[in-house]
Amino acid sequence: MGLETLDGFRDRLQLALGDKAQFNERLDRWINDGIVELFIILDLENRRKCAQTTTVIDQDNYLLPVDLIAMLVLTDRTKKRRILKTSIENFERLDAAKTGDPKVFARVDRLIFLHPIPFAENLLHMFYVHEPTTLASGTDVSELTRVYDRVIHLLALRSALLDLGESDRATLIFQTAQNLLRLIPSEEWLEGQMPAGGVEIARSAEDLTKPPSSLETGTRFR
């Protein structure tokens, strides 16, 4: 979780805006816009969700989760294979009456359309980027870790400057945010630093004097 509260973000944003200070309603919109933008930029596991549904025979369209920002992967768990995304143009060229196990899908607004039309009840898993929880109370904090608080402030400030007609300054602020993001280790990099052989555990005071290779190896995640 983040450390900076919504009240804290408001104060920092007001300070940066100077004589263009705004009411909380506008500040909150810019701050939450910044968090959403950061969710889209990042590749973090805590911004992903999985939803599941079962296909209905002869039904080709299914409602997407209300908090979906972007689809990552759609899989048919029953057949153990991925359903590939296609464009609306390609989807319209397909045989609209064909039935079978879905192989492709197209997204239209809050719906996905499957082809072929399902002729059995298969379990679908949908992995997607979810919309972050909106900060509404002054004590609310971001779902992201505290290392991203300053980036959120910069992205919120950029949104504010664009709305207030200061595009040149907004560009500089966005470049600063991008530079800061490059300094933050990625989740993939951090996980790659785990010892390949697992964590060695000392079971007694005597173990502390032994070479690392002689200690018992802990169980690794699979």
6-26 burial: b if 16+ Cβ within 10 Å, else e = bebbbebbeebbeeeebeeeb
pLDDT at 118: 97
Under 8 Å between Cβ of 141 and 2: yes
Residues 159-181 pLDDT 10s: 999 999 999 999 999 999 999 99
Q: Closest Cα partner for 118 from 182, 163, 54?
A: 54
Per-residue tokens: 87: 């464009």
User: Could you give the count of Cα atoms lying within 13 Å of 132 in the half-sphere of its Cβ?
Assistant: 28
Q: Distance between CA 219 and CA 222 in Å, rounded?
A: 9
pLDDT at 192: 62
Residue 198 backbone dihedrals phi, psi, to 5 degrees = 90, 180
Q: Is the pTM of this model over 0.75?
A: no
Averaged pLDDT, 193-210: 52
Averaged pLDDT, 35-57: 89
pLDDT at 205: 52
Averaged pLDDT, 55-65: 96
How many other C-beta atoms lie within 10 A of the C-beta of residue 144? Answer: 20
Residues 116-175 pLDDT 10s: 999 999 999 999 999 999 999 999 999 998 999 999 999 999 999 999 999 999 999 999
User: Token pair 């972007």 is at which residue?
Assistant: 70
| Mean of per-residue pLDDT scores for the chain | 87
How far the first Cα of the chain sits from its last, in Å, is 26
Positive or negative torsion for Cα 125, 129, 135, 136: negative
